[in-house]
Amino acid sequence: MAAPPLRVLACGDVEGRLEALFGRVRAIQGKSGRFDMLLCVGSFFGSASEAEWAEYRSGAKKAPIPTYILGANDPEAVSYFPDVNGCEMAENITYLGRRGLYSGASGLQIAYLSGTEAQQEPAPAYSFSAKDVAELKTSLLATPSFRGVDILLTSPWPRGAETFGNSAGEIDTKRCGSKLISDLAASLKPRYHFAALEKAYYERLPYRNHTVLQESPRHVSRFIALAEVGNAAKKKEEAACQFFFDLKKQQGRKRPSGGRERGDSQPQQAKRPAQPTGPCWFCLASPEVEKHLVVSIGTHCYLALAKGGLLPDHVLILPIGHYQSVVDLSPDVVEEVTKYKAALKEFFRSKGKRYVLFERNYRSQHLQLQVVPVPLDQCTPEDIKESFIAQAQEQQIELSEIPEHTDITQVVQPGTPYFYVELDTGEKLFHRIRGRFPLHFGREVLASEALLGVPQRADWRQCAAERSEEEAQARAFRRDFQPFDFALRA
């Protein structure tokens, strides 16, 4: 039996508010089940720490889950840490140390660096120096099989965190943070990098750890800066203070601690589809739908051949009701979309193909998930990703890889225009559209000589077929797909 996913909470500056911190942890666990550990970045102790801390240090009170903290960031906090190399501070509260690697029984690897960047040598007890960073890098990079750590914990941000990424709001990332930490993160290639100290929440879009077409592909990194715990001046933002991440199948599932996500035991009110503002070619009840192209109908979704498809078995997954994008879907619709993706993966694999799915939520009013098969022996997943990224760069489109365990609802809000690619391996690429965007971009990449080799079919309007031909293609697909069609067994 597979081990259950490791569940990890991460929080920002505690500043001595231990009751607020652990009260929130208990509330989260009461709603969402038990977590395995809590990781604290930033300043754990503050000016009002002593009275609360004395109760935990004496054993009168106990942290509800194993809690791992970083060291002092200022001279006043140094006295709280009796051993610079790390130690148990109280029951269930452990100081990791000045720098190093924590590796649990699960195999999770957490690299950590305590303090702020030193302005002089030797570095004081609340700071780190270039020597500390160099020694930490050397100890980890010496392993020939090293490909990156799971988590990097630092208190300061890396300098220039928003470079080539999304805006950090009012935070001046060119001035705040540490250049040494930027260098450390680039070398250790963490899947997640948590930091604090700036009293603001910021989640940078994921970034690649390899040069496209020049280096072997590696996982992407996500930098997440966390706001402080329980700040009375920021009650409206308090939900952003703690976020949790499941580091296996559910890795990257982020939500505010006061929110709710799919899979919670409490029922959610079903989201009602919005009504189209005019005639819709894809609402199944609409008279505009070309029903001769429909090949499968489920409870909430249906499959139809693409009009002017790249290939005869180019299909669309479409919600029966009117939804603008994947981000707007109700849980029931999401579940059936997932079933159709699984069925299509099995179907195309039986024919020696893999599928590429893409969505363009831009200048469209009804969700269309385009599913295009590609021969297994013709293109690898890396070929497909590199083709999309290379052509995006040519058109000055920032296409980022996001973790396969990350739900797209984590990186974009409803109503935001975007372009999204997903392989049947779970690998994903994402672009947030901020201006103009080429309408046929997804088809152009797949039709290119590097992939399907049918560049003349990039524009669907140039691929029109007679109705009789479309009906024959639909009958053939419906017949072949029948053994895989879960809707027929309902």
The greatest distance separating any two alpha carbons of the chain, rounded to the nearest whole angstrom, comes to: 82
Give yes or no on whether 7-246 and 291-489 have one common fold.
no
pLDDT at 297: 94
Confidence of residue 212 (pLDDT cuts 50, 70, 90): low
Question: Which residues make beta-bridge pairs with 95?
Answer: 69, 87
pLDDT at residue 471 is higher than 70: yes
pLDDT at residue 457 is higher than 80: yes
For CA atoms 479, 484, 486, 489, the dihedral sign is positive
Confidence of residue 5 (pLDDT cuts 50, 70, 90): low
Cβ distance 156 to 185 under 8 Å?
no
For the ranges 230-244, 351-365, 454-468, the one whose mean pLDDT is highest: 351-365
Tokens of 258: 């006061």
- Mean per-residue pLDDT for 313-336? 93
pLDDT at residue 404 is higher than 80: no
How far is 487 from 357, CA to CA, in rounded Å? Answer: 20
> In the chain, what percentage of residues exceed pLDDT 90?
58
Cβ distance 209 to 190 under 8 Å?
no
Helix or strand holding residue 446 (H, E)? helix 441-447
- Mean per-residue pLDDT for 26-47? 90
- Mean per-residue pLDDT for 217-221? 73
Confidence of residue 216 (pLDDT cuts 50, 70, 90): low
How far is 247 from 149, CA to CA, in rounded Å? Answer: 12
How far is 25 from 146, CA to CA, in rounded Å? Answer: 33
How far is 115 from 98, CA to CA, in rounded Å? Answer: 8
How far is 242 from 136, CA to CA, in rounded Å? Answer: 27
Of 319, 308, 422, the residue nearest 367 (C-alpha)? 319
pLDDT at residue 231 is higher than 80: no
- Mean per-residue pLDDT for 229-237? 52
pLDDT at 218: 67
- Mean per-residue pLDDT for 269-297? 73
Alpha carbon separation from 470 to 31, 292, 311, 357, 366 (Å, rounded):
51, 8, 12, 21, 22
pLDDT at 4: 62
Confidence of residue 423 (pLDDT cuts 50, 70, 90): very high
How far is 140 from 152, CA to CA, in rounded Å? Answer: 12
Least confident among 12-16, 156-160, 312-316, 409-413: 409-413
Name the fold adopted by 7-246: Purple Acid Phosphatase; chain A, domain 2 (3.60.21)
Domain boundaries, given as residue ranges, for the chain? 7-246, 291-489
Confidence of residue 1 (pLDDT cuts 50, 70, 90): very low
Confidence of residue 248 (pLDDT cuts 50, 70, 90): very low
The pair phi, psi for residue 143, each rounded to 5°, is: -75, 120
Q: Which carries the bigger pLDDT value, residue 243 or residue 365?
A: 365
Least confident among 90-94, 131-135, 231-235, 282-286: 231-235
The CATH H-level superfamily of 291-489 is: HIT-like (3.30.428.10)
- pLDDT, tens only, 157-174: 999 998 888 888 889 998
The DSSP secondary structure of 38-61, one letter per residue, reads EEE-S-S--TTHHHHHHHHHTTSS
pLDDT at residue 348 is higher than 50: yes
pLDDT at 234: 41
pTM recorded for the entire structure: 0.54
- pLDDT, tens only, 389-399: 989 988 989 89
Confidence of residue 235 (pLDDT cuts 50, 70, 90): very low
- Mean per-residue pLDDT for 239-247? 40
Alpha carbon separation from 405 to 67, 173, 271, 385 (Å, rounded):
25, 28, 24, 17
Question: Which residues make beta-bridge pairs with 127?
Answer: 116
pLDDT at residue 344 is higher than 70: yes
